Amino acid sequence: MRGNTTRQIVRMLRDAGAAEIHLRITAPPIKHPCHYGIDMSTREEMIAHGRTVEEVAAELHCDSLAYLSLEGVYEAVSGSRDRHCDACFSGSYPLAGSEDALGKNALELPVLAS
């Protein structure tokens, strides 16, 4: 999501002598945080948020980058959007108002002071 590990892998491949590096990611780019229980980065920390595929490729120092489309995901799982949450990819949150939540813990129950 942040690109840290991928950046390191690309650097290691370059250091090992790779002339070209073409990344293929088996999911759509994650551009939005999950408010439903998955611990992940904020929008600002996500490498794909607000960037084109070409900009992400440049940030990762790879020669090309391609992602699986959201349609490709649903084809692979023989499913549809009405049965799966894809908010981290699409930004379309199934619960009203959650896209404006104040972070990854927005749906947590408040801790009561003792």
pLDDT at 97: 62
Q: What is the CATH number of the domain that holds 9?
A: 3.40.50.2020
pTM of the model: 0.73
- Using pLDDT thresholds of 50, 70 and 90, give the confidence band for residue 4: confident
Q: Note whether residue 65 is domain-resident.
A: yes
51 CB neighbour count, 10 Å cutoff: 16
- 3 state SS of 37: coil
Stretch (H or E) spanning 66: strand 64-67
Is position 111 within any domain? no
Q: Domain range spanning residue 78? A: 4-100
Q: Measuring CA to CA, which residue among 72, 40, 67 is closest to residue 56?
A: 67
If one compares 106 and 61, the residue with the highest pLDDT of the two is 61
The predicted structure's pLDDT at residue 74 = 93
Half-sphere exposure of 13 (CA within 13 A, CB side): 16
For residue 31, the one-letter residue type is K
Flag whether 11 is in a domain: yes
Residue 37: inside a domain: yes
Instruction: Identify the residue with better confidence: 63 or 98.
Output: 63
